[in-house]
């Protein structure tokens, strides 16, 4: 993982896009096969297999139905970083 990547847990993709537009060039959104700085955590599979993670929660992330699974995966990654 590049140290420049930020994994963003947002309530939905629109919140994620709005954050990127406000805080960095829209070209920094990572889509499949493209390098960039921001990654939308659409589900826990996006972050599975990472050995380190850097990012944050924005918007209505608490309302996501899959938030417990995502937080569990983030905790697993962070334990491996220690």
The pLDDT value given to residue 19: 87
Do the strands 38-40 and 6-10 form a parallel or antiparallel pair, or are they unpaired? parallel
Q: How does pLDDT run across 9-28, given as a tens digit for each residue?
A: 999 999 998 888 888 766 66
pTM assigned to the model:
0.83
13-66 pLDDT per residue, tens: 999 988 888 887 666 666 544 457 888 999 999 999 999 999 999 999 999 999
Tokens 């697993």 correspond to what residue? 76
Contact 23, 56 (CB under 8 A): no
Burial pattern 52-72, b for ≥16 Cβ within 10 A else e, equals ebeeebebebeebeeeeebee
pLDDT at residue number 23: 81
pLDDT at 2: 45
């Amino acid at each position: 993982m590049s140290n420049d990547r930020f994994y963003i847990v947002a309530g939905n993709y629109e919140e994620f896009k709005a954050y990127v537009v406000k805080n960095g060039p829209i070209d920094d959104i990572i889509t499949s096969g493209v390098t960039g700085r921001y990654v939308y955590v659409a589900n826990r599979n996006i972050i599975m297999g990472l050995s380190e993670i850097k990012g944050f929660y924005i918007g209505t992330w608490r309302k996501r139905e899959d938030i417990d699974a995502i937080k569990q995966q983030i905790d697993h990654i962070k334990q491996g970083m220690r």
